[in-house]
């Protein structure tokens, strides 16, 4: 029973974060919301007894992808200043 409620809460949080990532006007907010969706997915995988998938999702989906998005955003902003 507790797991079912926890899954529903995590799914609703992930859904609201995904909507925020799509509809946000600020790119930083979108990147952070997308990273949060991935982090919530890794928690769901952990609760489903898939720790290997959870660790991969947390490391690649939430960690590395978010860092790459911020890196690219920084590069794009810098290249726009020199024009």
36-48 pLDDT, tens digit per residue, is: 999 999 999 999 9
- Residue 78: the pLDDT is 87
Q: Which two tokens stand for residue 49?
A: 């007894």
Asked if 10 and 41 count as a contact pair (C-beta separation under 8 A), the reply is no
Q: Which two tokens stand for residue 58?
A: 């947390």
Residue ranges of the domains in the chain?
2-81
Overall pTM surpassing 0.75 (yes/no): yes
pLDDT bucket at 82, cuts 50 / 70 / 90: low
- Residue 3: the pLDDT is 82
Taking CA atoms, 49 is separated from 31, 35, 68, in Å, by 28, 21, 28
């Amino acid at each position: 029973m507790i797991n079912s409620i926890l899954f529903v809460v995590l799914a609703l949080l992930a859904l609201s974060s995904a909507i925020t990532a799509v509809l946000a006007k600020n790119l930083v907010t979108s990147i952070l919301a997308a990273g949060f969706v991935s982090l919530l997915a890794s928690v769901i995988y952990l609760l489903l007894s898939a720790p290997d998938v959870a660790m991969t999702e947390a490391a690649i989906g939430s960690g590395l992808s978010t860092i790459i998005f911020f890196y690219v955003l920084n590069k794009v902003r810098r290249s726009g200043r020199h024009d």
